[in-house]
Amino acid sequence: MQKTILITGGAGFIGSHVIRLFINKYPDYKIVNLDALTYAGNLENLEDISSKDNYRFEKGDITDAELVNTLFKKYAFDGVIHLAAESHVDRSISDPGTFIKTNILGTVNLLNAARNFWKDNFENKRFYHISTDEVYGSLGNEGFFSETTAYDPRSPYSASKASSDHLVRAYLHTYKLPVVITNCSNNYGPNQFPEKLIPLAINNIKHNKPIPIYGKGENIRDWLYVIDHANAVDLVFHKGKNGETYNIGGNNERTNIALIHKLCEIADRKLGRKPGVSSKLITFVKDRAGHDLRYAIDSSKIQNELGWKPSVTFDEGIEKTIEWYLQNEGWMNRIIDGSYEKYYENQYEKR
């Protein structure tokens, strides 16, 4: 069946993997990528598919309601997969306003456009909102987030994502908009902007720079390979039930310090260094304000109802990831421009 799908934030980390999957798997679909190309957006992530007939790129901001409406009129979308967001917790601590604007107002613009354009005839339509496990807050040593866990966001980033999730559900209950939401744990893999822990650490290891670990490195995250997230998005978009929420996770919890030791061990081997050399770069720095202790996901709903499960183990995924960053030095170097250096200096060196 032919479909025209709007994917927002497709030039970013996860969005680019979702676009690649859809472009290659569904040649009959037309995929329109709406992305403002903020510091995190990079069309180089999509170079291999950008000349395909079923792909269109629209540079634009989801906070611009007029533009969003114009695109709905121009393309008559059947579905929306909404990933565009400000996504980095540390930036949300220093600049919450941008997060409120993009993550909340941007989402409302998309919801309004979908509702107005589809004119309450929602057959075969779908609005899919991509969210994060961070909306559930922070866990102690025990337990997991499930789809019924009460929201308890604790950073400006997670609060803005929680607000957008609530608005998406409000449009379901009030207007019957056919929505679906997924909340995913921390992703890792190729093309992630090096402000996030894993690509930042790999890049610093490579250049013999200190690897900054917040606090004592005891915070725990659940890591999922980005292509497994993209596979889940495909499944939920096509098979998920309207009005439902699905949690997606890797069942792969690590403390930050254990994760970094693992990266160092693999990097030593790949870079021909003596074992233990890279881990000497580990440097404990001032903790993140309000740093959530632990995230862990119970993903049994999507596994049991839709048959999703991760396709790679963490050992396989992290090996491929490190290899990709080491092989794609040009990609990294082109991202590390003046504005990245300035961000880095403010975040780490001026403390």
User: What are the residue numbers of the active site?
Assistant: 133-134, 157
By a kind-dependent CB cut-off of 5 to 8 A, residue 89 interacts, out of ligand TYD, ligand NAD, none, with: ligand TYD
* 3-state helix vs strand vs coil in the chain, percent to 5: 45, 15, 35
Ramachandran bin of 253, using left for φ above 0, alpha for ψ from -120 to 50, beta for the remaining angles: beta
CA distance 23 to 108: 27
CA distance 315 to 320: 9
By a kind-dependent CB cut-off of 5 to 8 A, residue 63 interacts, out of ligand NAD, ligand TYD, none, with: ligand NAD
Query: What b/e string do you get for 9-42 counting C-beta neighbours within 10 Å, with b at 16 or more?
Result: bbbbbbbbbbbbbbbeebeebbbbbbbbebebbb
By a kind-dependent CB cut-off of 5 to 8 A, residue 129 interacts, out of ligand NAD, ligand TYD, none, with: none
- Among 63-71, 110-118, 123-131, 212-220, which window interacts with ligand TYD (CB under 6 A)? 212-220
CA distance 121 to 225: 37
Give me the amino acid identity at 12. Answer: G
By a kind-dependent CB cut-off of 5 to 8 A, residue 35 interacts, out of ligand TYD, ligand NAD, none, with: ligand NAD
Q: What are phi and psi of 145, to 5 degrees?
A: -80, 130
By CB under 6 A, tell whether 159 contacts ligand TYD: no
- Which of 154/288 has CB closer to ligand TYD? 288
Query: What b/e string do you get for 103-136 counting C-beta neighbours within 10 Å, with b at 16 or more?
Result: bbbbbbbbbbbbbebbeeebeebbbbbbbbbbbb
Helix (H, G, I), strand (E, B) or coil at 173: helix
- Among 68-76, 208-216, 229-237, 273-281, which window interacts with ligand TYD (CB under 6 A)? 208-216
Which residues, in sequence order, are bridge partners of residue 284?
213
CB of 122 to ligand NAD, least distance (A): 23
CA distance 205 to 12: 23
CB of 103 to ligand NAD, least distance (A): 7
Question: Hey, which residues between 96 and 155 contact ligand TYD (CB under 6 A)?
Answer: none
Question: Hey, which residues between 272 and 291 contact ligand TYD (CB under 6 A)?
Answer: 288
CB of 196 to ligand NAD, least distance (A): 7
- Choose, by CB under 6 A, the member of 91, 129, 221, 229 that binds ligand TYD: 221
- Choose, by CB under 6 A, the member of 19, 89, 181, 232 that binds ligand TYD: 89
- Which of 19/264 has CB closer to ligand NAD? 19
CB of 274 to ligand NAD, least distance (A): 32
- Choose, by CB under 6 A, the member of 200, 232, 235, 297 that binds ligand TYD: 200
CB of 332 to ligand NAD, least distance (A): 14
By a kind-dependent CB cut-off of 5 to 8 A, residue 197 interacts, out of ligand TYD, ligand NAD, none, with: ligand TYD
Tell which residue, 161, 184, 320, 302, has the closest CA to residue 250: 184
The binding site for ligand NAD (CB under 6 A) comprises 8-9, 11-15, 35-38, 40-41, 61-63, 83-87, 102, 106, 130, 132, 161, 184, 186-187, 193
Please report the beta strands in the chain, taking only residues with DSSP state E, as ranges in sequence order. Answer: 4-8, 30-35, 55-59, 79-82, 126-132, 179-184, 186-188, 211-214, 220-225, 245-248, 253-255, 282-285
DSSP type of residue 289: T
By CB under 6 A, tell whether 256 contacts ligand TYD: yes
By a kind-dependent CB cut-off of 5 to 8 A, residue 67 interacts, out of ligand TYD, ligand NAD, none, with: none
By CB under 6 A, tell whether 184 contacts ligand TYD: no
Interface positions with ligand TYD (CB under 6 A): 89, 186, 196-197, 200, 212-214, 219, 221, 256, 288
